């Protein structure tokens, strides 16, 4: 059965607010019956990504504000949230730097796993992870809206709704202070492998670590396993592959889907809405301390109650778009019709979408309900 997805493209065909991307997004939100999944006085988690120092291509606060306003219209009590990626208080400062604060979005901005990244409840997931710690503020919320910026990702090849939940809906650490999210990045109980013979001692891994877990001491790379949260940023920036992450692509992708499944399982069916912004599609995750130029032109926004369908549609939009010049797509000589994200990231994003589908999280078949200029004109006539 095909899942229904509301879609508005990013183009503006007229010199009027009603033709703007923001207005078209508002129109989609008006087509969703928020009372169907939000009850009066419900705490509603609006899960997004706060960005990073140096990264700036996240979903803009104006769109988060529109979502917050719709939740308030039906009597819900929204809060905008993410989980700890760098030390908690620093991450809240990043959110504020990106323009995400109570004043701009109209709701409290909090860390779902607490300022130390340890507030979670263990939930059963699947055969790879067995169980995972879901961030407590998300676990206890009766409803949620997942607002995702679609882009590339070094591990999953694509970051959409499933990645937003699988990585961002769980705690940074467990109650013992050990890496919880790192259980997806790394095989159980394993750590980074430093290749002394190929390391050039450039220090990039030291500089990029947000938790000060890596030092260059006496010409050797020293990793503090107590500080390391196994985020794999250091491995990502290592140009000579001197830091190896001990996990296969298949295990990572399936583990990501299992983690997302665990987060979704804490909600009653139909109480999560997914919003995918296919805009500023850069090759890296928004947690990296930089943002590259977009791989393709802005495509639009997708809204659905099905995370698999929303991600499949986003992936299809990206891979069917024309690669942009002066981007990593051009660097990789990607042509229209190629699998753009796979060519750029080296990873097959379809693997975690297929895994989520196998877990019963949604359908890969979808029906796009597109907001057109005709819809806008008809709405004006009715008014």
pLDDT at 300: 98
Domain span(s) for CATH 3.30.70.20 in the chain: 191-244
More confident residue, 255 or 380: 255
- CATH classification for the domain delimited by 191-244, as one of 3.50.7.10, 3.40.50.720, 3.30.70.20, 3.40.640.10: 3.30.70.20
Q: State residue 191's pLDDT score.
A: 81
Q: Where in the chain is the domain with CATH 3.40.50?
A: 3-183+247-382
Q: Per-residue pLDDT averaged across 180-187, rounded?
A: 84
- Which range has the worst mean pLDDT, 235-249, 322-336, 340-354? 235-249
Give dist(CA 260, CA 163) in Å, integer: 7
Question: Is residue 377's pLDDT more than 70?
Answer: no
Binning pLDDT at 50, 70 and 90, where does residue 381 land? low
CA 381 to each of CA 26, 58, 173, 220: distance values in angstroms, whole numbers, following the listed order: 17, 35, 54, 71
Per cent of the chain over pLDDT 90 is 82
From the list 126, 148, 71, 358, the residue with the least C-alpha distance to 263 is: 126
Q: pLDDT at position 120, please?
A: 97
The CATH class, in words, for 3-183+247-382 is: alpha beta
pLDDT (tens digit, 9 = 90+) per residue, 240-265? 999 988 878 999 999 999 999 999 99
Please give the pLDDT value at position 33: 97
Examine the pLDDT at 188 and tell me if it is beyond 90.
Answer: no
Question: Quick one: pLDDT band at residue 334, thresholds 50, 70, 90?
Answer: very high
Whether 383 shows a pLDDT value over 80: the answer reads no
> What is the token pair recorded at 169?
């809906």
Q: Work out whether the CA dihedral 19, 20, 26, 31 comes out positive or negative.
A: positive
Mean pLDDT of the chain: 93
Q: In the chain, pLDDT over 70 holds for what percent of residues?
A: 97
Q: What average pLDDT does the segment 212-233 reach?
A: 89
What pLDDT was estimated at residue 177? 78
Strands in 43-47's sheet, in edge-to-edge order, are: 109-111, 77-82, 43-47, 143-149, 272-278, 300-304, 3-9, 366-370
- Distance, CA of 73 to CA of 120 (rounded, Å): 30
CB 251 within 8 A of CB 270: no
pLDDT at 373 over 80: no
pLDDT at position 227, please?
A: 87
């Amino acid at each position: 059965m095909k899942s229904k997805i509301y879609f508005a493209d990013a183009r503006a065909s007229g010199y009027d607010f009603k033709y703007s991307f923001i207005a078209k997004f508002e129109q989609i939100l008006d087509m969703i019956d928020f009372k169907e999944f939000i009850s009066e006085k419900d705490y509603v988690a609006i899960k997004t990504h706060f960005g990073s120092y140096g990264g700036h291509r996240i979903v803009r606060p104006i769109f988060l504000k529109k979502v917050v306003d719709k939740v308030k219209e039906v009597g819900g009590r929204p809060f905008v949230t993410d989980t700890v990626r760098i030390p908690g208080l620093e991450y809240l400062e990043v959110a504020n730097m990106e323009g995400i604060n109570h004043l701009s979005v109209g709701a409290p901005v909090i860390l779902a796993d607490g300022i130390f990244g340890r507030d979670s409840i263990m939930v059963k997931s699947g055969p790879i992870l067995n169980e995972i710690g879901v961030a407590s503020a998300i676990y206890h919320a009766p409803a949620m809206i997942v607002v995702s910026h679609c882009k590339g990702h070094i591990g999953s090849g694509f970051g959409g709704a499933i990645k937003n939940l699988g990585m961002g809906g769980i705690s940074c650490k467990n109650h013992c202070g050990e890496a919880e999210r790192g259980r997806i990045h790394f095989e159980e109980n394993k750590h980074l492998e430093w290749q002394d013979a190929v390391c050039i001692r450039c220090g990039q891994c030291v500089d990029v670590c947000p938790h000060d877990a890596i030092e260059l001491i006496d010409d050797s790379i020293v990793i503090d396993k107590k500080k390391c949260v196994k985020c794999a940023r250091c491995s990502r920036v290592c140009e000579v592959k001197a830091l190896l992450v001990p996990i296969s692509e298949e295990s990572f992708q399936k583990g990501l889907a299992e983690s997302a499944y665990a987060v979704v399982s804490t909600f009653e069916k139909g109480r999560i809405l997914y919003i995918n912004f296919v805009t500023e599609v850069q090759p890296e995750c928004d947690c990296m301390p930089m943002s590259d130029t977009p791989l393709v032109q802005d495509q639009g926004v997708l809204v659905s109650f099905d995370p698999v369908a929303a991600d499949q549609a986003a992936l299809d939009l990206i891979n069917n778009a024309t690669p942009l010049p002066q981007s990593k797509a051009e660097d990789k000589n990607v042509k229209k019709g190629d699998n753009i994200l796979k060519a750029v990231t080296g990873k097959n994003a379809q693997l975690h979408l297929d895994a989520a589908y196998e877990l019963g999280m949604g359908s890969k078949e979808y029906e796009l309900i597109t907001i057109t200029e005709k819809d806008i004109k008809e709405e004006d006539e009715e008014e």
